Amino acid sequence: MSDKRDLALAAIAPYKDAPLGHFIGAQSAAAQGTPFDVLEPGTGQVLGQCSDASEEQLNAAVAAAKEAFPGWVSTAPEQRRKILNRVADLIVENADRIAAVECLDAGQCWRFMSKAAIRGAENFRFFADRAPGAADGQSLPAKDHVNYTTRRAIGPVGVITPWNTPFMLSTWKIAPALAAGCTVVHKPAEWSPYSARLLVEIAHEAGLPAGVFNSVNGLGETTGKRLTEHPDIKAVAFVGESSTGSAIMRQGAATLKRVHFELGGKNPVVVFDDADIESAIDAAVFMIYSLNGQRCTSSSRLLVQSTIYDQFVARVAERVNNLKVGDPFDPASEVGPLIHPRHFAKVSSYMDIAREDGARIAAGGAPVEGTEGFFFKPTLFADASQSMRIAQEEIFGPVLTAIPFDDEADAIAKANDVEYGLAGYLWTSDLGRALRVSEAMEAGMVWVNSENVRHLPTPFGGVKASGIGRDGGDWSFDFYMETKNIALARGTHKVQRLGV
Ligand code: NAD
């Protein structure tokens, strides 16, 4: 247990004496702005400090990315592939260190983070191996012209990521950008900045040329805002809250920024009475309480057919009361702390909101006592209705809202009755119903009789307030690249003659 914490503390030791700075053009840049604390969610202690990039530093990071772009975009894709595969190799070599840092500053449990670090490597490998084909387009012949399309990286891009699974999410955006030939300025979340620093250093150790990948720290409203407003940043890939997505769209409007948004969710898991009940319970519990409920695709609304509602909710409550909440470094822990006191206060506030709206707290509902860490008991709200705030708002904690439904039409109506539309989960043994309901769900992704199992070639993203654009497979390259059509005349058509 403590050896993993020691590993994490050793990994961040080089950045503890002074506030964590930035990584610009393959070099460390010292922090200059007013420092702010980075907390350890498991203990509540101050881990270190971080600070905003100054305007000059942000400009220097963008300038480095701009200067490196012509070289990187014209590097043979086979060479990009080699370097990015080497990044993947080094992530695997450092997987324990990375996972330990995620436990330390994001408070995520070891049992999930050890896999998340490896998934970060897979993200690099997946897009690295597709780099050689990224520019390939289509042949669209017409009578008088042969048209063909080709793709080229759009330019330097900004990548802005949240704190919930910081390392994995960073690789999910940065790997395809680099494989496509873009250069990157990354701004990780201010509450969990350390694993991003490991990533940028690993990438340079792997042979990434200077300026191709830069990392700046700081707050969203300052450093993040400047990055999204910078005229030399051609596109912004953002993962975070829906309201922040709106702000970024406004900030990027003057420079016509292309944006890709992976935003919030209030995802339903719909359980019909003909479902495999045991598996449905396993999946419902896993999809909301793993990763401390701080997961965009969490199934935070449990919609259960009224015929089995009481019995199903009682079974879930039993499991929730049994969850092992504790030290994120303990491999036995299933639920760790929330990220920050501000987020802890937000999650806590929904207990009164639930009571006032008339829901029943069937499990949890209070902070874990006797700890300085930001631990909140896994919570289940029962007898809720769709109109309640606990059914509409993204709480982003280990908190599940259970709502009964009558029939298929009612299930679809309730599943879709939120502003979000990221993921949907559906449990039934009726194939026709599975098809009808999954097609009717307003969501970017639906899993039938399954929890969220990612397959990297498939599209990932949401509809409504959950996002714009898709990642995964070739969808990522579509965002990071511009498509060009080239028309070659066969010499068979007549050009109109004017002014003769
Ligand atoms: P957040 O929006 O507060 O912050 C995300 C990032 O944006 C941080 O780096 C932050 O500093 C930056 N930021 C904040 N304001 C900014 C601004 N005005 N301009 C530029 N950058 C700014 O989100 P969070 O609280 O860190 O993360 C939780 C949210 O992320 C949840 O809503 C969750 O659903 C969402 N999320 C979505 C996905 C997905 O794939 N759809 C994945 C993970 C998390």
Whether 176 shows a pLDDT value over 60: the answer reads: yes
| Same domain flag for 321 and 251 | no
Cα distance between residue 333 and residue 350, in whole Å: 24
Same domain, 58 and 97: yes
244 alpha carbon – ligand 1 mean position (Å) = 6
**CA atoms in the 13 A half-sphere facing the CB of 426:** 28
Q: Are residues 359 and 471 in the same domain?
A: no
Cα–Cα distance between 405 and 426 in angstroms, integer? 13
Beta bridge partners of 400: 380
224 CB within 6 A, ligand 1: yes
The pLDDT of residue 257 is above 70: yes
d(CA 7, CA 113): 14
Residue-wise pLDDT for 404-422, tens only, equals 999 999 999 999 999 999 9
Q: Give the pLDDT band (50/70/90) at residue 403.
A: very high
Q: Is the same domain home to 106 and 131?
A: yes
pLDDT of residue 1: 54
In a domain? residue 252: yes
Are 234 and 213 contained in the same domain?
Answer: yes
Distance CA 116, CA 102 (A): 9
- Residue 370: pLDDT band (50, 70, 90) is very high
Task: Name the residue with tokens 């499991």.
Answer: 319
| Residue 453 covered by a domain | no
In a domain, 234, yes or no: yes
The pLDDT of 154-159, averaged and rounded, is 98
Q: What is the sign, positive or negative, of the torsion defined by CA atoms of 196, 202, 206, 210?
A: positive
Give the CATH number of the domain where residue 319 resides. Answer: 3.40.309.10
Domain co-membership, 73 together with 198:
yes
How many A from CA of 228 to the centre of ligand 1?
14
Whether the CB of 236 sits within 6 Å of ligand 1 = no
Q: What is the distance between the alpha carbons of residues 460 and 168, in angstroms, rounded to a whole number?
A: 14
Clarify whether residues 249 and 313 are in a common domain.
no
SS3 call for 423: strand
Residues 256 and 307 in one domain: no
The atom of ligand 1 lying closest to the CA of 228 is: 20
- Please compute the mean of the pLDDT values over residues 334-346 and round it to a whole number: 98
356 assigned to some structural domain? yes
Ligand 1 site-directed mutation target among 38, 239, 287, 288, most atoms within 8 Å of CB: 239
**Is residue 458, in this structure, part of any structural domain at all?**
no
Q: Active-site positions?
A: 262
Averaged pLDDT for residues 187-202: 98
Average of per-residue pLDDT values in the chain: 97
Question: How far does residue 161's CA lie from ligand 1's centre (Å)?
Answer: 6
Residue 287: count of CB within 10 angstroms of its CB: 25
Region 289-314: mean pLDDT is 98
Crossing angle (nearest 10°) for helices 194-205 and 77-93: 130
- Burial class of residue 354 (count of CB atoms within 10 Å of its CB; 0-12, 13-18, 19+): buried
The reply to whether ligand 1 has any atom less than 6 angstroms from the CB of 379 is: no
Distance CA 394, CA 390 (A): 8
Same-domain check for residues 313 and 243: no
Q: Is the CB of 422 under 6 A from ligand 1?
A: yes
Report the distance separating Cα 101 and Cα 270, nearest Å: 35
Residue 399, in any domain of the structure: yes
Number of domains making up the chain = 2
pLDDT confidence of residue 498 = 98
| 460 domain residue, yes or no | no
Q: Are residues 158 and 48 in the same domain?
A: yes
Say yes or no: 431 and 295 in one domain: yes
Residue carrying the six token digits 């490597």: 121
* 219 CA closest ligand 1 atom index: 11
Alpha-carbon span 426 to 235, nearest angstrom: 35
Assign residue 12 the CATH number of its domain: 3.40.605.10
Ligand 1 centre and the CA of 14: distance in Å? Answer: 27
Residue owning tokens 């860490």: 373
Query: Strand, helix or coil at 26?
Result: coil
Query: Residue 33: is its pLDDT beyond 90?
Result: no
For residue 467 and ligand 1, the question of a CB distance below 6 A is answered with yes
190 lines ligand 1 (CB under 6 A): yes
2 pLDDT more than 80: no
List the residue whose alpha carbon is closest to atom 26 of ligand 1.
Answer: 162
Handedness of CA 414, 420, 421, 426 (dihedral sign): negative
Residue 17: pLDDT band by 50, 70, 90 thresholds?
Answer: confident
Is the domain of 433 the same as that of 480? no
CA angle 233, 190, 481 (to 5 degrees): 25
Three-class SS state of 370: coil
- Cα–ligand 1 centroid distance for 241 (angstroms): 4
In a domain, 454, yes or no: no
Range of the domain at 373: 268-448
